[in-house]
Amino acid sequence: MRKHLIPVLLISATLGFSGCTAINEVTATSAGVKLLQAATISDEYVQQISADYIKQLDAQNEIANGSNPYATRIERLTRSFNNKDGINIKVYLTPEVNAFATADGSVRVYSGLMDIMTDEELLGIIGHEIGHYINHDTRDAFRNALVTSAVRDGLASTGGVVGALSSSQVGALGEALSSSRYSRKQESEADDYGYEFLKQHGINPWAMAIAFEKMQQLDSSSSTAPGLQQLFSSHPDSAARAQRMAQKALKDGYSRPSNTSGGSASSGSGAAASTSNEWTF
């Protein structure tokens, strides 16, 4: 039985977490609290809180490890870049369809997403999430959530140094993060990063377009799996994004693989989701 899954921010979707003892507490009196501004929050602070944050999130969810089929699949697909350059990728065992990145370079993929994506499509989505990290979208979203949430009222800022979060403030931050959204420009840039990510790994970038088609199909379906968190629920118009990725692939001289015309989003045994024999890596 899987552990309770906390709502999470894709920074492509939603991120939330509950306070735990590993996050140091600070008692900030009203006299010591100043109006918090984004400029007072250093990159180092955001990265540290993000690292604490993902540690607690991991503790609240069941992670695929060892010989688990999801773990072996993600290891096979990501071994050339996982745990390098600040990136760390793990799988949460849950039927929900989602993935997200945080400001410390963590990428978490839900097994429900793996159930409906081929290897190439899954790598495109992982590339998209890495793009949000590389482009500092995750850092900026986290910083803005700190500024706009009730957390700011409990953070001490003395000489430009922001205090640690208390356990009660963590929940307030989660609420702010859950409503965070990337701009259309940020989403397009992350899409482009995922597209180029596939090309760099020798994969037909049509996979990016097909992944969006599947999400669009899920979005319009009335029979989606219980508990589904749609991967691009905060990303408007998946159909338009699929079309843009398809146009890029055609312009670059790539043909759509012949066995992908339907873009089926049917759920199956995701640990062994099909891989097109036209694509190798």
Contact between 34 and 83 under an 8 Å Cβ cutoff? The reply is: no
Catalytic residue among 129, 187, 189, 213: 129
Element (H, E) at 46: helix 43-60
Rounded CA-CA distance 77/191 in Å is 19
Rounded CA-CA distance 108/126 in Å is 9
SS3 assignment, position 243: helix
What Rg, from alpha-carbon coordinates, does the chain have?
19
Cα 232 from chain centroid (whole Å): 10
Rounded CA-CA distance 161/277 in Å is 54
Own/partner contacts of 39-45, CB < 8 Å, gap of 24 or more, are 40/157, 40/160, 40/162, 41/143, 41/146, 41/147, 41/162, 42/162, 43/139, 45/162
Instruction: Taking each helix axis as running N to C, give the angle between helix 69-78 and helix 119-134, from 0 to 180 degrees, rounded to the nearest 10.
Output: 60
Q: First CA to last CA across the chain, in angstroms?
A: 34
Closest to 46 in 3D by CA, of 179, 142, 162: 142
Closest to 38 in 3D by CA, of 189, 124, 144: 144
- Tell me if residue 62 is catalytic: no
Which residues participate in catalysis according to the annotation? Answer: 129
